[in-house]
Amino acid sequence: MRLPIGFRVGAIKAGIKPSGRLDLGLILSGRPAAWAFVATTSRAAAPSVRRGRELYAAETPLQAVVVNAGNANCATGPRGQEDDRRMARAVAARYGLPEHAVLTASTGVIGVRLPVERIEQAVPTLQPGFDLLPFAEAILTTDTRTKTAEATLPGGARVVGVAKGSGMIHPNMATMLAYLLTDAELPQEELRQTWPSVVDRTFNQISVDGDTSTNDMAVLLANGGAGPVDPEEFWPAVERVARDLARQIARDGEGATRLITVRVQGAATPQEARNAARAVASSALWKAAVYGNDPNWGRVLGALGYSGATFDPLRVRITLQGVPLYDGEPLPFDSRMTSQAMRREEVVVEVDLREGPAEAEAWGCDLTEGYVRINAEYTT
C-alpha cells in the first residue's frame, strides 16, 4: 500500500506488550501537516487524549504521531500525564521537532503505569520507512487482524488509513484508534469542519459491546505534498476509507464471527437514522440472535423501539438478508431458509421507518461465547 507523499511510518518492539510483539508505532510527515481530530467524550479520558485536545486547540500543525499498544496510560494519576509528555518528548528529540508537533496515543490495559523508559529507549532505534504493515500491527491489542484502507483521487493524491479496534468499540470513539494520512492540500479550517461529520457517519456508527473507551481518537493528517485537490473528490474518498476501516473494526470485534450491517432509511432526521441503525447494531439480544442464525426480527423492532427514533410500528418494514420479515405486521417467511441465509460473513438488516427522507448505516458484530471468554480474564 503506497503511502501518500511525504509520510513515513515505522514500528518497533518496545517491550510493552507481554507477548513481546510490535507495540510502538510512529507516523512521520516530512512537512508540517494540517490535521483534524475527534476523540473520546469520556470524562475519564487518558492523558494522551487530553494532551491531543490541547494541541488541537492551539491549531499548530503536526509532524509526528506516536502510538503505544499494551498500556492505555489511563487512570495512572498525575504521573500518567508526565509519562505521556515524555513519550512525545522522546520523538521530538529524536527528529528535532517541537514537542507540540507530536501527537501521542496509547491503548491497552487501564490503571497500570506506562513503562515510559522502554519507549524512550526504543524511539531512537525505530527506523521509519514506507511499509504501513508493521505500524498497523504495532497498534493492535485484542484485534486479530491489521486494518488498512486506501483511495486515490483522480489527480493522484492519496488517502491511506490504518486503524485498530476490537473490544469496547462504540459510538463516541471507544477503544479505537484511526489515522488517515493524505498528501492532499486542504485548509486546516476545512479539515476541521468536515472531519467530525465523516466520523459521525463511519467510526461513530460501529459498536462491539456498548462500552465507550477512555483513549480513542480518529485523526486526519493532510500534509499537502500532492498539492490542492477538489473537495468534492476528496471528501468522498476520505469517507470511503473511513467506512472501510469502520467495517473492518466491527467485523473484528472480540469473539466475533460475523459482520452485522444495519441500513436505515425513511427516518425523520439524519440523527434519528443514525441512532436507529446503531441501536440495532448494538443490541445484545440481536447480536446473540445473529450468532445463532436466528431470524428473530422482533429483537430488531425492539431495538428500534428504544432507539429514540420516531416511527409507527404499524408502518415500519424490516428486511433480513434480502428477505422481507415485517411490514407493519409479521410477514410469512421460511425461517429455515432465512436462517440458512444468515450463515454468511455479513448479515444485512434493512429497515424502512417510513417517516422521512433520512438514512444511515451502522455496523456491529455478533455476540459470542468467545466475547465472554476473552473479557472474563483480561488483567489477571
Binding residues are 141, 164, 175, 254, 375, 380
Q: Footprint of a second copy on residues 21-80 (CB under 8 A)?
A: 40-45, 72, 74-79
CB 44, min distance to a second copy, A: 3
Q: Footprint of a second copy on residues 206-225 (CB under 8 A)?
A: 209-214
- Listing DSSP states for 138-195 in one string gives HT-SS-SS-EEEEEE-TTS-EEEEEEE--TT--TTT-S-EEEEEE--B--HHHHHHHH
Please tell me whether residue 365 binds a second copy under the rule CB under 8 A.
no
CA distance 147 to 248: 6
- Site pattern 157..176 for a second copy (x: CB under 8 A): ----------xx---x----
- CB atoms < 10 A from the CB of 378, how many? 9
Cell output for 2: 503506497
Please tell me whether residue 367 binds a second copy under the rule CB under 8 A.
yes
Q: Footprint of a second copy on residues 273-312 (CB under 8 A)?
A: 282-285, 288-289, 291-299, 301-307, 309-311
Choice between 33 and 351, CB closer to a second copy: 351
Give me the sign of the Cα torsion angle 111, 117, 123, 126.
negative
CA distance 349 to 265: 11
Residues paired with 69 in a beta bridge? 107
Choice between 193 and 284, CB closer to a second copy: 284
CB 377, min distance to a second copy, A: 5
CA distance 16 to 14: 6
Please tell me whether residue 139 binds a second copy under the rule CB under 8 A.
no
Choice between 154 and 380, CB closer to a second copy: 380
Active site residue 175: yes
Choice between 122 and 362, CB closer to a second copy: 362
Report the binding-site residues for substrate. Answer: 141, 164, 175, 254, 375, 380
Residue among 273, 247, 243, 276 at smallest CA distance from 259: 247
Choice between 63 and 213, CB closer to a second copy: 213
User: Phi, psi (5° rounding) for residue 332?
Assistant: -70, 135
- In the list 67, 90, 103, 110, the residue contacting a second copy (rule: CB under 8 A) is 110
Please tell me whether residue 112 binds a second copy under the rule CB under 8 A.
yes
Please tell me whether residue 87 binds a second copy under the rule CB under 8 A.
no
- In the list 125, 152, 197, 335, the residue contacting a second copy (rule: CB under 8 A) is 335
Amino acid of residue 3: L
Q: Footprint of a second copy on residues 222-251 (CB under 8 A)?
A: none
363 exposed, middle or buried (CB, 10 Å; 0-12, 13-18, 19+)? Answer: buried
53 exposed, middle or buried (CB, 10 Å; 0-12, 13-18, 19+)? Answer: middle
Choice between 307 and 319, CB closer to a second copy: 307
CA distance 146 to 139: 9
Q: CB under 8 A: which stretch of 11-19, 117-125, 193-201, 368-376 binds a second copy?
A: 368-376
Number of residues located near a second copy, criterion CB under 8 A: 73
- In the list 19, 57, 345, 376, the residue contacting a second copy (rule: CB under 8 A) is 376
Catalytic residue among 142, 146, 148, 175: 175
Residue among 94, 158, 167 at smallest CA distance from 127: 94
Please tell me whether residue 326 binds a second copy under the rule CB under 8 A.
yes
CB 207, min distance to a second copy, A: 10
Q: Where are the alpha helices (DSSP H) in 252-322?
A: 270-282, 284-291, 297-306
Active site residues: 175
